[in-house]
Amino acid sequence: MALLEIKGLTTEVSGYKIIDNLDFSVEANELRVLLGPNGAGKTTLIAMITGQFKPTAGKIFFDGKDITGRAPDEIFLAGISRKFQVPNMYETLSVYDNVMISLQTDRKVFKYMFKRVSPAENERIWEILEFIELADRANDPADTMSHGERQWLEMGMLIGSNPKLLLLDEPTTGMTEQGKQRTAQLIEKIAKSHTVLLVEHDMHVVRRLGKKVTVLHQGKLLAEGPLAEVVENEMVKAVYLGKGRH
């Protein structure tokens, strides 16, 4: 069984199927890119995997266990961490402290703000700071960071929670071309030791990653395979041309 296995997943809101009988799976250690026009259901799918949105029908299996309908906290503890489109961090705390808090499984910030960091934790925090290339910003408050730096810090915080599966929803949005390339590089580094599901609109980034892609459209799986094949698919072309994006 794949690390993430989704079967017949359906989410209906007021008679409208946002996700429609979807079968989808991601293998352990894979980096999969999820594509699809605006409103295709990508963010909704991620919210269903993390338990923030309950499916109407179907099943989600993770690491061999049925996690359908489980609470978000439980799914996070089972090893799935999500990055939102907008960075989610403690604004007034330093970059170092944000990574420190991410190592604590319950993320109860006040409990850890004045805590003594063990040598092993300190080592792990610096390892993550080096990994995301923000070691020189360690003592700066998170709210003094640029848009790109905040995204990288949040990816470091995701790694801190030691997940088996990382879900990244459009992490390059609003970045400069240089920032996007740095993000792509960081994702490649993360993917060496993690399973990643990435929603990404930027085709330069998707091409650079060169991984298997899945295209969603109207909550259904439209195409799947190597990018070069998928972009030649007539249905995929029609969907993208029709929407006027890319």
The contact set with ligand ATP (CB under 6 A) reads: 13, 18, 36, 38-44
Residue 44 binds which of Mg ion, ligand ATP, none (CB < 5-8 A, kind-dependent) = ligand ATP
Residue type, 64: G
- The CB-of-44 to ligand ATP minimum distance in angstroms stands at 3
Decide: is 43 part of the binding site for Mg ion (CB under 5 A).
Answer: yes
Q: Which residues pair with 9 in a beta bridge?
A: 22
Q: Name the DSSP letter for residue 230.
A: H
Q: Which amino acid is at 88?
A: N
Q: Which residues, including other chains, have CB under 8 Å from residue 80's CB and lie 6 or more apart?
A: 49, 50, 62, 163, 164, 165, 167
Identify which of residues 18 and 158 has a Cβ nearer to Mg ion in the complex.
18
Q: How far is the CB of 152 from ligand ATP (least distance, A)?
A: 21
The distance of closest approach from Cβ of residue 137 to Mg ion in the complex, given in angstroms and rounded to an integer, is 28
Question: Is 196:169 a contact under the CB 8 Å cutoff?
Answer: no
| Residue 145 DSSP one-character state | S
* Min dist. Cβ of residue 40 to Mg ion (A): 8
Residue (125 or 167) nearer to ligand ATP, CB:
167
Nearer to ligand ATP, 5 or 170 (CB): 170
Q: Which does 79 bind (CB under 5 to 8 A by kind): ligand ATP, Mg ion, none?
A: none
Q: How far is the CB of 41 from Mg ion (least distance, A)?
A: 9
* Amino acid (one-letter) located at 96: Y
Which of ligand ATP, Mg ion, none is residue 41 near (CB under 5 to 8 Å by kind)?
Answer: ligand ATP
When asked if residue 98 is in the footprint of Mg ion (CB under 5 A), the reply is no
Q: For residue 63, what are the CA distances in angstroms to 5, 58, 103? A: 9, 17, 22
Phi first, then psi, for residue 195 (nearest 5°) are: -90, 130
C-alpha span between 79 and 67 (Å, rounded): 11
Query: Rule CB under 5 A: which residues touch Mg ion?
Result: 42-43
